[in-house]
Amino acid sequence: MEHTPEGTPVGVDDPYEIAGVCDHLTDDGRCRLALAHAGVDSEFAAARRADDYACHVGAEGAWADCRHYRSTTSDRDCERCGLEAVRMAHDETARPLLEAHHLSYPDGDGTTHEITVSLCRWCHAKVHNSFGRIDDDAEPDPEAIAERETRRAAEQREFGFQPASERSDR
Ligand SMILES: [Zn+2]
Ligand SMILES: [Zn+2]
């Protein structure tokens, strides 16, 4: 899949409307980057430290104002149609149902940031090739559902018919 900052459409007008919580934000509103990786930007880390490591843009996210903001996908479900990931624990070679899609790329000086969301393969193709939008009210593609059900059946055989929802790793 070809991705360039000025190339194929990313399917959204303003990446920051879709963008999630900063990867560096801790549950208690502090900056993990400053806490654990101060060497990345010592000036930035010193400023956070002086404020008890509080995130200076806050959980409500004036994200674009922070040069270290980054929001990458958790790979759980498709941002567009909601299709859930089904991992093939016994088959590492199976192509994942979900792919990371870049809404924005870091430019190195903090005016743009790395923002990715998960899209299923089918939505990903629609976004890049046929003007699908991330915020479309989309249902999963019939092919995507078929592929998911095939995987779930394989997964149930693997785990002896124990429903996925009752397993402790979910
Ligand atoms: Zn999808
Ligand atoms: Zn993409």
How many angstroms separate the CA atoms of 3 and 119, rounded?
14
Q: Which residue has the higher pLDDT, 81 or 65?
A: 81
Q: According to the model, what pLDDT value does residue 30 have?
A: 94
* Ligand 2 centroid, distance to 121 Cα (angstroms): 9
Ligand 1 centroid – CA 16 distance (Å): 20
Ligand nearest the Cα of residue 119 is 1
> What does the buried/exposed string (b/e) look like for 33-72 if buried means 16 or more CB atoms within 10 Å of the residue's CB?
bbeeebeebeebbeebeeeebebebeeebebbebebbbbe
Calculate mean pLDDT across residues 120-135: 91
Tell me the C-alpha distance between 153 and 148, whole Å.
Answer: 9
Could you say which ligand is closest to the alpha carbon of residue 98? 1
For residue 2, what pLDDT is reported?
37
* pLDDT exceeds 80 at position 40: yes
Any idea which ligand is nearest the CA of 73? 2
The alpha carbon of 169 and the centre of ligand 2 are apart by a number of angstroms equal to: 28
The residues pairing with 41 across neighbouring beta strands, listed in sequence order, are none
Each residue of 134-147: pLDDT tens digit?
Answer: 989 999 999 999 99
Judged against a pLDDT cut of 60, whether residue 64 lies above it is answered with: yes
Q: CA-CA distance, 126 to 145, in Å (whole number)? A: 16
pLDDT for residue 4 is more than 50: no
The 10s digit of each residue's pLDDT in 90-102 is 677 788 999 999 9
**3-state DSSP assignment of residue 31:** strand
CA distances from 73 to 23, 77, 90 (A): 9, 9, 23
pLDDT in tens, 100-117: 999 888 776 667 889 999
| pLDDT one-digit tens code per residue, 19-38 | 888 999 999 999 999 999 99
Residue 3 has pLDDT above 50, yes or no: no
DSSP 3-state percent helix, strand, coil across the chain (nearest 5): 30, 15, 55
C-alpha closest to that of 143 among 166, 120, 161: 120
In tens, the pLDDT along 153-168 reads 988 887 776 555 665 5
Q: Residue 10 Cα, ligand 2 centroid: separation in angstroms?
A: 6
How far does the centroid of ligand 2 lie from the alpha carbon of residue 11, in Å? 9
pLDDT > 50? residue 170 = no
The 3-class SS string of 4-19 reads CCCCCCCCCCCHHHHC
